[in-house]
Chain A
Amino acid sequence: EPEVTQTPSHQVTQMGQEVILRCVPISNHLYFYWYRQILGQKVEFLVSFYNNEISEKSEIFDDQFSVERPDGSNFTLKIRSTKLEDSAMYFCASSGPSGQATDTQYFGPGTRLTVL
């Protein structure tokens, strides 16, 4: 069964450093998402991406965050200057082809980001 993969599984970084989290969505999917889960808190939507542009972003997704689909398979989340409060599990998800509720969002296993 196809699955969403994410690398790395765990990333440790110093405050102020840039990080890039990588995701490979399911190959025929057209909609891509990032969510995050701070330890002990809810899973929160960050951003959705379709047709090479952002469809929707939450208030969490400020100018420090960016997303990109650099090639036909990868989907990345960049945090330009990490803060302590960015420490969380980051989940990538994909769905397709219609983007409607009938298309299940499939989640990757997550990248645990620790900012020191």
Chain B
Amino acid sequence: AQSVTQPDIHITVSEGASLELRCNYSYGATPYLFWYVQSPGQGLQLLLKYFSGDTLVQGIKGFEAEFKRSQSSFNLRKPSVHWSDAAEYFCAVFRNNAGNMLTFGGGTRLMVKP
């Protein structure tokens, strides 16, 4: 069965510092991978997605993620964090032979220190 693991439950970074959020997946076929962000009181917003091709994908709000098949990872990065990036971040894998369901990781809550 597929699964997604986000090893870090909470991360705190200083504003202006770089950020990397980890995501590992377990999936038998070629994975379709996503990062979503959830701000307080908001729904889930798509940051970026990977299907195939270039393993470094760019998203909104200055985020990027790199797919590494050998490590079964899809880590999210941002070179310089802003206070408004404080939110919960979810990695997810898509199964299109199972009702298009997304399987989510447990999430990483990002806090930004001034």
**A residues within 8 Å of B by Cβ?**
4, 31, 33, 35, 41-45, 47-48, 54-58, 91, 93, 95, 99-102, 104-110
Chain B residues positioned under 8 Å from A91 (CB to CB)? 43-44
CA distance A31 to B103 in the complex (A): 17
B28 within 8 A of A: no
CA distance A9 to B45 in the complex (A): 17
57-114 of chain B: CB within 8 A of chain A:
90, 92, 94, 96, 98-107
Which of B36, B98, B99, B103 is packed against the most chain A CB atoms within 10 Å? B99
Whether the pair B106, A55 counts as a contact (CB closer than 8 A) is no
Chain B residues positioned under 8 Å from A56 (CB to CB)? 98-101
Contact (A43, B104) CB under 8 Å given A56-B98, A56-B99, A102-B51:
yes
**B residues within 8 Å of A by Cβ?**
32, 36, 41-46, 49, 51, 90, 92, 94, 96, 98-107
CA distance A56 to B78 in the complex (A): 35
CA distance A41 to B90 in the complex (A): 12
How many residue-residue contacts, CB under 8 A, span A and B? 64
Can you list 17 A-B contacts (CB < 8 A)?
A: A33-B100, A43-B92, A48-B99, A48-B100, A56-B98, A56-B100, A91-B44, A99-B96, A101-B51, A101-B100, A102-B51, A105-B46, A105-B102, A106-B46, A107-B44, A108-B43, A109-B43
From B51, B90, B101, B105, A45 is in contact (CB under 8 Å) with B101
Whether the pair A99, B100 counts as a contact (CB closer than 8 A) is yes
From B43, B96, B100, A4 is in contact (CB under 8 Å) with B43
Chain A residues positioned under 8 Å from B100 (CB to CB)? 31, 33, 48, 55-56, 95, 99-101, 105
Whether the pair A55, B41 counts as a contact (CB closer than 8 A) is no
Whether the pair A109, B42 counts as a contact (CB closer than 8 A) is yes
Whether the pair B51, A43 counts as a contact (CB closer than 8 A) is no
Chain B residues positioned under 8 Å from A110 (CB to CB)? 43
CA distance A91 to B41 in the complex (A): 12
Supply 5 further A-B pairs (C-beta < 8 A) apart from A55-B100, A58-B101: A4-B43, A33-B100, A42-B105, A99-B96, A105-B102
